[in-house]
Structure 1
Amino acid sequence: MCGRFALTLKPEEVEAFFALLELEDFPPRYNIAPTQPILIVMAGEGGGAPGSNLPDRRALLVRWGLVPAWVKDPKSFPLLINARSDTALEKNTYKTAMRHRRALVPASGFYEWKREGRNRAQAYWVRPKGGGLVGFAGLMETWYEPGGSEIDTGAILTTNANTDIAHIHERMPVVIKPEDFSRWLDCRSNEPRDVADLLRPADPGFFEAIPVSDKVNRVANTGPEIQEPIDASESEAEKKPVNVQLRLI
């Protein structure tokens, strides 16, 4: 599962990692929460920049919380920030996006909570070992408001946790390797069955899980201090319940 994540590297680093033709400047974001705008990468419409060897990819901002085009009232629809990769093609909610609008979600890592008792949890900052960038598998849908406006929305695909994460939570975001970016994003040539092999847990040892304080629980906390390591053996009395409500369909 992925209920919070971060993107803190410089725009030029993101641009290079995802081989984007251009990317507008943006500040580091340490605590990205559901319903907020998130950056995604999608295949372009062909052509690319003249004289460029880069693949044709575009970056755009979407609302984190996928809303299928057929939904009449988003306010009465569940907040879908995650989609189970093992059943996404079977669900009416996701199958069109799986076929036509696969995306990458740039991230520096994500946060996960290990339940410790009924109402307590320890937060972890989960990042590529040693730092860096990662591309989560994502889906994009555009919802058309009755008044004529459009809202681009997105979700992150999840899979079973690998050995790095399983002791914290049973699910984790799907990680697409850079060498597989083009295949994942190419919805013209590759049907969902052609990229199903990419929907697997990250290789063991790819991530490291760092215990952090409960500051990440509050959306208002957006600074780098929320990623500062703590002693995971701190007293139970100091641990707080998680204030993140998620629902998967």
Structure 2
Amino acid sequence: MCGRFALTATPDQTATFLGVDEIEPFPARYNIAPTQPVLMTLAGAPRDPGSNRSDRTAVLVRWGLIPAWVKDTRDFPLLLNARSESAAEKASFRAAMRHRRALVPASGFYEWRQTGGRKGQAYWIRPAHGGLVAFAGLMETYAEPGGSEMDTGAIMTTAANTDIAHIHDRMPVVIHPGDFSRWLDCRGQEPRDVADLLRPAEPGFFEAIPVSDLVNKVANTGPEIQERFVASSEGDAPQQKAAKPGRKKPGDDTDQMSLF
């Protein structure tokens, strides 16, 4: 699964990577967590053939997809991830898979090696070549009973490749730049036409860096959570002293952005 990730590139770098005209300013985000706003890119209405502007749009959505048919969100689980093997058939994702496929830009993601059923060593997993990566995403607009609407989304996952399998059995689906247009084209490409893109990243694409347990706490939002952790001896717990409560650090709270 993918339960935390980061986006630390500048808005201009992100816009260029995604092929959108511009993106509203945002801060570097080192510890993006469920229910927080995440950036997604979708294909918009076709542009005039003579226009040099992109037809892609960048939007903020709440991480945790809510299908349009849900009556009471209190009785519905938070859908952070969508299994790529079954998304096209699942009621929760079927409509989004057909009509609202998206790209989720990221600098990398975090995963934890399970030890005895408990969360153990944390890893910062980033592209070995550096730069940005795009995860396959799904978006759904949920209309609340009161009439307001909220854009929500999920990240698609697949079986882990050989670089990640020793940490976790799932990983986000990576869409490469050459496949962006095909993945986003929900008018001309049925889910079955893009099923070949829902595969593990090739071996060597990611590198996994052990980090401390600072990433476990959502309030820790600085670059120090990505620093390599080196245990002093075998079996040492991967722990560092967390920031003291009440001491606001750059990137806390408002820097994580808000949709509400």
Q: TM-score range by the shorter chain?
A: over 0.9
Match of 1:44 in 2: 44
Match of 2:187 in 1: 188
What amino acid sits opposite 2:179 in the alignment?
D
Compute the displacement of 1:116 (Å).
Answer: 2.2
Match of 1:197 in 2: 196
Pick closer, same or farther for the CA change 1:9–1:230 going to 2, 3 Å.
same
Pick closer, same or farther for the CA change 1:70–1:11 going to 2, 3 Å.
same
| 3-state secondary structure, aligned to 1:176 | coil
* Distance of 1:102 and 1:192 partners within structure 2: 9
The unaligned stretches of length 5 or more in structure 2 are 240-260
Match of 1:61 in 2: 60
Pick closer, same or farther for the CA change 1:118–1:188 going to 2, 3 Å.
closer
Compute the displacement of 1:233 (Å).
Answer: 6.8
Matches within 5 A, 1:150-165: 150-165=149-164
What amino acid sits opposite 1:76 in the alignment?
D
* 1:113 aligns to 2:112 (yes or no): yes
Percent of aligned positions that are identical: 68
* Distance of 2:219 and 2:191 partners within structure 1: 38
Contact kept? 1:85, 1:157, Cα under 8 Å: yes
What amino acid sits opposite 2:142 in the alignment?
W
Match of 2:216 in 1: 217
Pick closer, same or farther for the CA change 1:106–1:45 going to 2, 3 Å.
same
Contact kept? 1:40, 1:106, Cα under 8 Å: yes
What amino acid sits opposite 2:168 in the alignment?
H
Compute the displacement of 1:21 (Å).
Answer: 1.1
* 1:143 aligns to 2:142 (yes or no): yes
| 3-state secondary structure, aligned to 2:13 | helix
* Distance of 2:186 and 2:146 partners within structure 1: 30
Contact kept? 1:138, 1:155, Cα under 8 Å: yes
The unaligned stretches of length 5 or more in structure 1 are 241-249
RMSD: 1.6
Contact kept? 1:125, 1:227, Cα under 8 Å: yes
* Distance of 1:48 and 1:113 partners within structure 2: 47
| 3-state secondary structure, aligned to 1:179 | helix
Normalising by structure 2, report the TM-score.
0.88
Match of 1:87 in 2: 86
Aligned length: 239
Pick closer, same or farther for the CA change 1:47–1:219 going to 2, 3 Å.
same
Match of 1:23 in 2: 23
Pick closer, same or farther for the CA change 1:144–1:229 going to 2, 3 Å.
same
Contact kept? 2:229, 2:238, Cα under 8 Å: no
The ranges of structure 1 where at least 4 consecutive aligned residues each deviate by more than 3 angstroms after the TM superposition are: 48-51, 232-237
Compute the displacement of 1:73 (Å).
Answer: 1.1
What amino acid sits opposite 2:16 in the alignment?
A
| 3-state secondary structure, aligned to 1:175 | coil
* Distance of 1:146 and 1:49 partners within structure 2: 40
* Distance of 1:47 and 1:101 partners within structure 2: 18
* Distance of 1:136 and 1:48 partners within structure 2: 28
* Distance of 2:117 and 2:185 partners within structure 1: 44
Normalising by structure 1, report the TM-score.
0.92
Pick closer, same or farther for the CA change 1:108–1:38 going to 2, 3 Å.
same
| 3-state secondary structure, aligned to 1:122 | strand
Compute the displacement of 1:130 (Å).
Answer: 3.6
| 3-state secondary structure, aligned to 1:209 | strand
* Distance of 2:102 and 2:82 partners within structure 1: 13
Compute the displacement of 1:50 (Å).
Answer: 6.5
Compute the displacement of 1:115 (Å).
Answer: 1.2
